[in-house]
């Protein structure tokens, strides 16, 4: 039996990257003992074999960010929405010097 023919690598792909990035990539390829083309082909093959990951839509992302902002604002506003009880308000009114205790004199003037 004969082995299947390997596909001819006649297509090229041009990418634009900063010169320092290219130099670092080429140095890494040399250190690994492979060509830049081999490294890029392996990367492309790996990407094609991996299952596609669903990407979050912009609308979903906006909704998530909006919900996070609303939760933060709500958490900050919550303490200001707390209303003192009637008993606490009456206590504060009687406790004239606001020392947290009602003296006989304060109680007598109510």
Single pTM value for the model: 0.42
- Which residue shows structure tokens 């060509």? 35
Give the span between the Cα atoms of 102 and 98, in whole angstroms. Answer: 9
pLDDT per residue rounded down to tens, the chain (110 residues): 577 777 777 888 888 999 999 999 999 999 999 999 999 999 999 989 988 777 767 777 788 888 878 777 766 665 555 566 667 777 778 888 888 888 888 777 76
Whether 92 contacts 86, CB under 8 Å:
no
Whether 26 contacts 36, CB under 8 Å:
yes
pLDDT of residue 12: 86
Question: Which ranges in 1-110 belong to alpha helices (H)?
Answer: 19-32, 36-49, 58-81, 86-94, 104-108
pLDDT of residue 66: 80
pLDDT of residue 24: 93
Residues in CB range of 110: below 8 A, 6 or more apart: 93, 94
pLDDT of residue 103: 83
pLDDT of residue 75: 66
Q: What are phi and psi of 42, to 5 degrees?
A: -65, -40
pLDDT of residue 97: 85
């Amino acid at each position: 039996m004969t082995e299947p023919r390997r596909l001819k690598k006649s297509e090229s792909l041009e990418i634009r990257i900063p010169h320092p990035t290219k130099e670092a990539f080429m140095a890494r390829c040399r250190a690994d003992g492979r060509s830049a083309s081999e490294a890029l082909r392996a990367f492309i093959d790996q990407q094609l074999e991996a299952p596609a990951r669903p990407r979050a839509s912009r609308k979903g992302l906006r909704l998530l960010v909006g919900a996070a902002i609303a939760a933060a604002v709500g958490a900050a506003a919550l303490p200001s929405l707390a209303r003192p009880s009637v008993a606490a308000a009456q206590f504060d009114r009687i406790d004239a010097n606001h020392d947290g205790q009602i003296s006989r004199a304060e109680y007598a003037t109510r």
